[in-house]
Amino acid sequence: MNLSFFDQFMSPHLLGIPLILISLLFPALLLPSPRNRWITNRISTLQSWFIYTVTKQLMAPLNKKGHKWALILSSLMIFLLSINLLGLLPYTFTPTTQLSMNLALAFPLWLATLLTGLRNQPSASLGHLLPEGTPTPLIPALIMIETTSLLIRPLALGVRLTANLTAGHLLIQLISTATAVLFSIMPAISILTACVLLLLTILEVAVAMIQAYVFVLLLSLYLQENI
């Protein structure tokens, strides 16, 4: 095989046109279209229950001022969850394995929470850079450390999501390749690795859901600090 294991993370192209936009828009096609009735079928009921549960969990650490962000955070959660789960299907592309995309999602939202805090409560937002009761000689060092930790938050959000999904996809590809290669040589070992692959796939489904939730939950916690 001349293909590398990392080729699966390359953005697909068709006639020189990147298909990542189709990958980003495809999850929206799976959602039921709105109707005049509140509840039309079981899928709509399940969708409404899921959105309500997600919104309730995300808004739990926020006060009433932060509830204005409910639509943005819930939509982001469903968007990331759909992309992560669809990326586990065979012959699909996962856009959230691209660090550039994850940073493009994390940085504007983190900056919006920061600017919200600086506009509404500038003293409290800047007060996070210097803990109360800090000795005078340590003030410059602590300000630099807290500023650095504040600025790397969007980078940490993007890298965490990218690293977890990339590692899971690589493990699935490695074990599936080993299963196919060992099938003609050692069938018993191949069946054992197939069982491991099944368990790993179930684990990756859980990781895809958890990472989408963690990404949005951390954004909501950053928002809580600034409101």
The domain spans of the chain are 18-28+41-226
pTM of the entire predicted model: 0.81
3-state DSSP assignment of residue 76:
helix
Give, for 18, the enclosing helix (H) or strand (E).
strand 17-18
Between CA 23 and CA 5, with CA 90 as vertex, the angle to 5 degrees is: 90
pLDDT of residue 203: 92
What is the distance between the alpha carbons of residues 93 and 84, in angstroms, rounded to a whole number?
10
What is the distance between the alpha carbons of residues 144 and 133, in angstroms, rounded to a whole number?
17
**C-alpha distance across the termini of the chain, in Å:** 54
Query: Please, what are the averages of pLDDT over each run of 10 residues along the chain (227 residues)?
Result: 59 67 68 63 78 84 82 88 85 82 91 87 76 75 84 91 89 87 86 90 92 90 84
Identify whether the C-beta of residue 61 lies closer than 8 Å to the C-beta of residue 227. no
